[in-house]
Structures are given as C-alpha cells and as structure tokens.
Structure 1
C-alpha cells in the first residue's frame, strides 16, 4: 500500500516538470585559459620540436651496464629450503576408488600430508602410541618433527565427547 502512495507522488505532474527542466536556459561553459601574452603559440610548438644539441650530447655520454647480483651465502639456505619443499614423495596410503575425487592426488610435497594419510597416521598413533611416536610419524611421512608432534597432540578425529546437560529440564537424545 505504501508503494502505491509513493509512486503516486513520484509520478504526479511528471510531464510538466520534465518540460520545465528541458526549457531552462543552459549555463555557459567556463572560458578557456588563454595563452601567455608575450609568447605566440607557434613559437612554443617550435621550441618543443627543436633538438637541443647540448642535451643530446650529454645523453650520449650516459652508459648503463646491469648485472645480476651474486647470491650471498645467507641467501643459499633459503634456496635449499624452497627446493626441499618442492620435492615430491609418493603417497603411503590412498582410498581404493573414492567417488568424490580424493584419489586424484598421487604425489604430495615433502613436509605435507594428505587427508587419508593424516587419518591413517592418527589412527595408528591412537592404537599403538608407543610404536607410532611423533618422531616415527615425522620420519615415515617426511614431516617436520614439531608438526608431527602438534598433529598427535591437538587433533583427535575419532574421539566423541558427549557433554551432559546442565539441568534436568533440557531434553536429551539417547542413542
């Protein structure tokens, strides 16, 4: 209902208002900046296109020689680190035929781990924590030892924790 009222006021007498705006006199454009009084325009164009021999001779004296900088010893460990990260390793575990594209991955960069490998490693660590220590996981999957330790410490994909309700009034689903 409100849109009808606003449309009524918006379209009221629209033709007369449009004709009134069109018939108004247009304001004049601002005047152009005039050229300096003492110099004619032809002299300025001539000065721009004229060659200056003294400037040209100075430009010919300039010689630029560039060379690539020699890598310093400090930069070399970074290069080695990048090369190590780009090295690939074959997958240790994979799904037989995943319908959602998990099997598309065939190689993983060193220092990384696939989802299937992470789940397998966490399961092995949970079942046999003395055998599958973080150090052994790091060695097996080419991981950084601190990353393997963090993986075993902070990720628990198979733990289900049921938090009891605070009061008796809250509904609880029993399985």
Structure 2
C-alpha cells in the first residue's frame, strides 16, 4: 500500500509541475517589483514624529533635496600621504621555543616558579602539613604562617580540615616484613624480583637462554 501511494504521488507531481510553472517568470517579476510596506511605528514614536513634522516642516523638505554646497566641498577633498608606509607589527604571540616532550608534573599541573606573598603551592602545603602532623607543637599555625608568609587564620583552617595520608600497617604484617614501611616511604617501585622476602612463596630466578 505504501509503495502504491508513493508511486501515485510521483505521478501526480509530474502532471501538476507544468501547470505550476506557467508564466512563472512574469509572476516572479511582479513580486519583485512590489514596493515593500514599512512596518508600523510604535504609537509613542508615531506621536513624536508627527509633532516634529508639524513644528519643522522645512527640515522634512530639506532632507529630500541635495545640498550642492556640500557636494562641491566633497569634490575638493584630497588625501595625500607622505613618507614610507607604517610598519605593521604582528600582535600574535610567538611560537614556543621548547619542542621537547615535557615530563608529567608530579601533582598533575606545572608549579609556578615564583609564588607571591600570601600564597603557597601544593608541594609547600603538603610539606608543612606533614611537619605539623609529625610535631604539632613545633610546627604550629603561627610558625607556619611566619615561615611561609601566610595569613595565620587561613593556616589554621588548612591544618584543621586538611591532612596528608598515612600508611597504617597491621602489626602482623609489620613484624613479618619490617622493611616494607621504609620502602613505601621512599616512593620507590616495589617489585617481587627485587624484594622476594615480601612474598609468601619464593620467586624463582630467571634462567637466561643461550
């Protein structure tokens, strides 16, 4: 049924197309030659225009006439340029000179080279947080604020709501592997081949084939 209706639609469009295109050019010229009607003004604007036309009818007639004096002055205007053309400087930023691949920053983004007074970086914040957690009396908020030139109230909020991570090991694991905590604190990659004592089962050494 759908195929039948589609075929009938195509046939009908072919039959009616010549009728639609009769005298199409003259009809198009008639539409183009029609003067478009201007959109009506707002009532308040219409009142202002009517008042201006009634009070200054001469200005309305004058704007429809050419001013011969202005046209004559316009013909005498001449622009002359002297000297070499001005140099056009490009405002585009220069391309980067470093084309090598940069190392991935430790904290996810590059740290600033200069830290303004009253500000700090993530690295410095982690350092004084770790110092405060290790020795709260020695590294108090006042000492940290004086050393890093920070606002003491902001430092108090930081050490109150932010803490660094600590590794807590079960006593059994610590007795079984006493060097594990030291290895984790050094931030080194711990591999079973380098430290086979960390595994319950010994690691068989690799045998190189010749």
TM class, shorter-length:
0.3 to 0.5
Report which of the two structures shows the higher radius of gyration computed on alpha carbons: 2
Q: TM-score, normalised by structure 1?
A: 0.41
**What's the TM-score, normalizing by structure 2?**
0.36
